[in-house]
Structure 1
Amino acid sequence: MTDRLPEDKRARIVSAIAGGWVADAASLGLHWLYNSARITDVGGEAPEFLPPRAEYFEGVFGYFAHEGKTPGDVSHYGAATKVLTDSLLANQGTLNIRDYQRRFANCFGPGGAWQGFIDNPTRGTLNNLIATEQRAIERAFSSIHTELTDEQKRILVQKVLPYTRRLTGDQLAAPVRKAINLTYQDARIQDAGVFLAETIDQNLQPESGADDKQLPAVSKLPPLVACYLGQSDLMTHVDAAVRVTNNNDEAVGWARCAARLLERLFLGIPPAQAIEAAMELAPAPQNLSTAISDSRLNPIQAGDTFGRTCYLHEAMPVCFHIISQAPTFADAIRANIHCGGDSCGRAWLIGPAMAAIHGVGSEKGIPLSWLARVTDGADRFAELEALV
């Protein structure tokens, strides 16, 4: 936790994570529009907080993913970051993988709180969690000696799953038994149901993520870095959190690079030194070196050179270029939007980095008016204050 830090550092961290929310919301209207000329036509020099509209994408390459969203809303990246934030808050600032997995599935799965686009890593993670659950069910029934009919097995699964998806360990037995007792008073059937619940619980795999190296591996990191700031096991927890959604070695490598950058900036290390330290952990440091070597901010050229899609080997050089060259938070976010492509995904590294450097409300920091435009911003920022 960060309770050992001086107040100025705590304020920097709160501002930094808030920068992610602001940058994501600011980028949503033109997210996944790949034509920079169209972005300029639509948004001019200030393309932030535009309403998501399908008409922006007509006749040019892009993907309109956010129908129904309004200015100030965040993307699925923000929703996923909130899931991890909620889990960290519920566990006193420590990473609890099972709690994180359950909250992730309950948010993005059927009946969950999230309404909107589901990306490939999220879909793959949900599929993996369900497949692991199904294997555990089969394993449990193969070990249960009580004779059960197919109908009894189906009902036991129906009774058990709502609890295994929200509870763990010693929390399971009593409510599961009570739920089964509503239908079956036979103690043997209840015992079988408790065994089924415990087997599912014990067989959850911590590395539940899709084999994927896209931006969801990195976008959730700001609250996690805040909780383990300056601690020797930061990267261990980064690895574990990333593999919940992105079980891929290259994704973990880029996440370590991003976490190092955020950690250094959260601690107040000068940007050039923070970038240098982060590059030491990058899977492709030569690309980052090229990205930061420009003498001026040119996000469109960076997109042309490295790519604009969700893949980390394209996005990370663009992020480093903007962070190293943009003079203010607003300039960085506008540059990110003008670059095009996965601007919301990149926003969760660019926004926190620039806010850590420049703060809130100053000439170079997050504009106060932008903070006020984030949907449910008061609640989101109160959560950040509680976390830090």
Structure 2
Amino acid sequence: MAANLPHDKKAAITAALAGGWVADAASLGLHWLYNSERIAEIGDQTPEFLPPRADYYTKGFGYFAHEGKQVGDVSHYGAATGVLTDSLVANKGNLDIRDYQRRFRSFFGPGGRWQGFIDNPTRITLENFNAIERKAVEEAQSSMPASLTDKQKRVLVQKVMPYTRRLSGDQLAQPVREAISLTYEDAEVQEAGVHLAETIDRHMVRESGADDMQLPAVSKLAPLVASYCGTSNLLGVVDAAVRVTNHNDDAVAWAKCAAVLLDGLFRGEGLSESMDAAMTEAPDPDSLARARRTSKLDGVAAGESFGRTCYLHEAMPVSFHILTHARSYTEAIRANIHCGGDSCGRAWLIGPAMAATHEVGGETGIPLSWLARLTDAASVYQDIESLVYGS
């Protein structure tokens, strides 16, 4: 899908995607600390890239979720964005829901690579994957040949499950048949196993997400919008992707609002114009209008007025306030951290939007030194370039 991107905008889009990662990492040290006075006491005017420490949370309300993380690491939001990015890169910029679901389950589930906090949508999504799979197996077993013994049926389920969890469609038949042949030479049993696998595959539903309207619905959007920038099916793709982790109509509506904002910026439209267009998709445009009407940048006051938690009806107005008034990427990220609460979640809209507007370097863009502080920066930026340039 990289061919859809305006060639003269690819540098700005690359900066925007990097801007999300950097904003998340910059915010991690004080994430979910809700007391603005405590944040100012610890971080003063430069609260970014502080080491995550439990003693920050001994005063004021907060939740320390990032034990073991280091300066430059990203939150679970960044980890989930990385999963979607990997899927998009592997599928040449196209959203493949089943591939995305498999990668998400593999990364965050038992035995996966993620070590860290698991949020409510992710936890419930993982539980839903298991429930969906159990139902699919039951549906598939009900149509298995009566000639099979109970033992054969159990063994076939054990044989096919590793493959249905990482393959689908035409990819299934050959490896499933080969795996079953190690135990059963009978062609009829092998074909029953292939039928079992294909039936399970057909019954795995796309809407696997939690009934949840928190920031994970929005935080992963930047690479998806980059892949479908300017296309007529952008909002349909956003709907499908969001419901993988957040199967909630309000969450989808807020995600469409965020997607329209990013799409406008990625296509080179102004920030104000892009926010105007985005508001037409918002479940509560009045709150966004109030956030934009304030006279000056004040992240703390915005948090007090609209809320600092992970819920989208709080986070989106705060984000729109900061985007309206911040004059640089740095100013926006610092205002977001000073606001408190779910700064990492909001960072995934504020960071890409400000970076798309101001790009990298200079007085208003992403500071070069901030880019260098991201953990595994070279790998992250290579994936971004692969997505945007199709290399």
TM-score interval, normalised by the smaller of the two chains:
over 0.9
CA distance in structure 2 between the aligned counterparts of 1:36 and 1:158, rounded to whole angstroms = 53
- AA of the residue aligned to 2:253: G
- AA of the residue aligned to 1:262: L
Match of 1:19 in 2: 19
**What SS does the corresponding residue of 1:143 show, helix, strand or coil?**
coil
**What aligned pairs does 1:1-16 form with structure 2 within 5 A after superposition?**
1-16=1-16
Deviations 1:256-285 (A, max 9, x none): 100011011111211111111111111000
**What aligned pairs does 1:86-97 form with structure 2 within 5 A after superposition?**
86-97=86-97
CA distance in structure 2 between the aligned counterparts of 1:376 and 1:154, rounded to whole angstroms = 43
**What SS does the corresponding residue of 1:244 show, helix, strand or coil?**
coil
**What SS does the corresponding residue of 1:129 show, helix, strand or coil?**
helix
**What aligned pairs does 1:1-388 form with structure 2 within 5 A after superposition?**
1-388=1-388
**What SS does the corresponding residue of 2:243 show, helix, strand or coil?**
helix
Is the 1:164–1:197 contact (alpha carbons within 8 Å) kept by the matching residues of 2? Answer: yes
- AA of the residue aligned to 1:385: E
Is the 1:288–1:317 contact (alpha carbons within 8 Å) kept by the matching residues of 2? Answer: yes
**What SS does the corresponding residue of 1:258 show, helix, strand or coil?**
helix
**What SS does the corresponding residue of 1:347 show, helix, strand or coil?**
helix
CA distance in structure 1 between the aligned counterparts of 2:5 and 2:100, rounded to whole angstroms = 26
Q: Aligned pair count?
A: 388
Unaligned ranges ≥5, structure 1: none
CA distance in structure 2 between the aligned counterparts of 1:348 and 1:62, rounded to whole angstroms = 20
Q: CA deviation at 1:354?
A: 0.4
CA distance in structure 1 between the aligned counterparts of 2:153 and 2:60, rounded to whole angstroms = 53
CA distance in structure 1 between the aligned counterparts of 2:161 and 2:61, rounded to whole angstroms = 42
Identity %: 67
Is the 1:146–1:192 contact (alpha carbons within 8 Å) kept by the matching residues of 2? Answer: no
Distance change in 2, residues 1:65/1:153 (3 Å): farther
Q: CA deviation at 1:8?
A: 3.0
Is the 1:146–1:189 contact (alpha carbons within 8 Å) kept by the matching residues of 2? Answer: no
Q: CA deviation at 1:148?
A: 4.4
What is the TM-score when the length of structure 2 is the normalising length? 0.96
CA distance in structure 1 between the aligned counterparts of 2:24 and 2:150, rounded to whole angstroms = 48
- AA of the residue aligned to 1:301: A
Is the 1:358–1:364 contact (alpha carbons within 8 Å) kept by the matching residues of 2? Answer: yes
Distance change in 2, residues 1:349/1:149 (3 Å): same
Deviations 1:119-173 (A, max 9, x none): 1111111111111110111111111124445544443222211111111111111
CA distance in structure 1 between the aligned counterparts of 2:326 and 2:139, rounded to whole angstroms = 55
Deviations 1:167-207 (A, max 9, x none): 11111111112112223333333222222211111111111
Q: CA deviation at 1:6?
A: 4.5
Distance change in 2, residues 1:188/1:365 (3 Å): same
Deviations 1:313-359 (A, max 9, x none): 00000000011111110111111111111111000000000001111
**What SS does the corresponding residue of 1:37 show, helix, strand or coil?**
helix
Is the 2:4–2:227 contact (alpha carbons within 8 Å) kept by the matching residues of 1? Answer: no
Aligned residues: CA RMSD: 1.3
What is the TM-score when the length of structure 1 is the normalising length? 0.97
Is the 1:2–1:10 contact (alpha carbons within 8 Å) kept by the matching residues of 2? Answer: no
- AA of the residue aligned to 2:193: G
Is the 2:4–2:228 contact (alpha carbons within 8 Å) kept by the matching residues of 1? Answer: no
**What SS does the corresponding residue of 2:293 show, helix, strand or coil?**
coil
